[in-house]
Amino acid sequence: MPIDFICEQCGRKMRAPDGTGGRKASCPICGQTQLIPGELPSPSVELEPPASPAPGLRGQNAPADLRTHRRPVMSGISGPERSFAADVALSFKLPFKGAGLFLWIMIGLIHLILVPLGAMVLFGDPLAMLGFFSLCGWLCSCYFAIILETCSGKDDLPTMGLSGGLWDDVFAPLLKFMGSLSVVMLPLIVWNVAVSAANPEVEEPPIDPSAMLPFSPDAQRFNDPTMQQFLQDDPFSAGAGEIPNPYAAPPEPEPEMIIDLESISVVSILASLGLYLLGLFLWPMMILTVVINGLFAAVGKIPEQLASIFKALPQYLSICGMLLGVGLIAVLSTVGVTILLGMLGESHKIMASILTGVLPSLILSYFIIIAMRIIGLFYRHYKTRFAWKAE
């Protein structure tokens, strides 16, 4: 019968095979080594202890039956049973198995409900806002549970509920998710604030009514050649030279030296794009640390996170590439299904309308589950290269 026990370091539940009591096991989450509860099975036959070897007969010179053999320590919990690629391939099958299918459908329906709720939030509906953020928090809780279960070595999707209460299962996961995004996007936020402060928006000057005077009837009569000749012949204005038009627009001010804002805007856009991509690059490691250690501990481990990425850079780049590929497949599949259903909508309008909302949500949810599994598999297979440990 398997032996269930709890890690003394992080409190995670672990299971060891029957008959391994008294041996040492390592926690797959924090790496803590401890003894498995129970005693080693006693041998059925007791052997008499060997006689002491004679002087000079020790080590390699001693007979084989007098040498002391040390049995290697066996761990009750082994490492990954499959390769990383095999585990990733298995992840694509999990949403179709047992409780995983129910979880997948639930996540897809919630994504579908969030669309009208989000529209209501834009109109300031407080009840819609509460429902929107509550459902988002529950989704974050599901995604975190998938990452954590994968890190612990399990190959099944978790069963979700509200056993931990609203705070632990709804609001705390939402705050962790938003906090992780805020941390990795902080350089982008700071850059945009600095650019906005350095280049404040210039208010357009109000329209000068005098600028419209040249198009008035009085200005046109003043510019008439007959009126100009009359003014020239007027004795009061003789010798005055050219008579200024009182209806003319004021002269434009001389252009001042200004900075080339177009070149600055291009640099700003490129820098913003680069910082945004940097944030996306750092987010998998950040969310992994947040799920295992918590938000505040993850913020304190930013140097360790960067060191972990550097130590496992090829593997981390492959993870980012997989996540990018999963995202592109999800977008293309969603768009393709939407277009296809739109083409079939003429003959089956009602069914096409329903499927247009349901199928894209299920496709998006499916690939998000795969992405969370890939993040957890990164920890399962390469945690020995990490510069931080689970708390």
pLDDT of residue 251: 58
Q: Give the DSSP letter of residue 251.
A: P
Q: Say if CB 3 and CB 36 are below 8 A apart.
A: yes
- Say if strands 24-26 and 33-35 run parallel, antiparallel, or are unpaired: antiparallel
Per domain, the residue ranges of the chain are 1-42+74-79, 84-199+280-385, 215-248
Q: For 25, phi and psi rounded to 5 degrees?
A: -140, 150
User: What contacts 96, CB < 8 A, 6 or more positions away?
Assistant: 104
C-alpha span between 81 and 129 (Å, rounded): 45
pLDDT of residue 186: 95
C-alpha span between 85 and 91 (Å, rounded): 10
Q: Say if CB 231 and CB 237 are below 8 A apart.
A: yes
- pLDDT tens sequence for the chain (391 residues): 678 777 777 667 777 777 777 777 877 766 677 888 876 554 444 444 445 544 444 444 444 443 443 333 333 334 577 889 899 999 999 999 888 899 999 999 999 899 888 888 888 888 999 999 999 999 999 999 999 999 988 888 888 766 777 888 899 999 999 999 999 999 999 998 888 887 665 555 555 544 444 445 555 555 556 655 655 555 555 455 555 555 455 555 555 544 445 555 788 888 999 999 999 999 999 999 999 999 999 999 999 999 999 999 999 999 999 999 888 888 888 787 777 766 765 566 666 666 777 888 888 899 999 999 999 999 999 998 999 887 5
- Map residue 126 onto helix, strand or coil: helix
Q: Say if CB 130 and CB 356 are below 8 A apart.
A: no
Q: Note if the pTM is more than 0.95.
A: no
Q: What is the dihedral of CA 39, 40, 41, 45, to 10 degrees?
A: -120
Instruction: Please classify residue 170 by burial: count the beta carbons closer than 10 Å to its beta carbon, then call 0-12 exposed, 13-18 middle and 19+ buried.
Output: buried
- Torsional sign, CA 324, 330, 331, 332: positive
- Torsional sign, CA 271, 274, 275, 276: positive
User: What contacts 215, CB < 8 A, 6 or more positions away?
Assistant: none
pLDDT of residue 344: 64
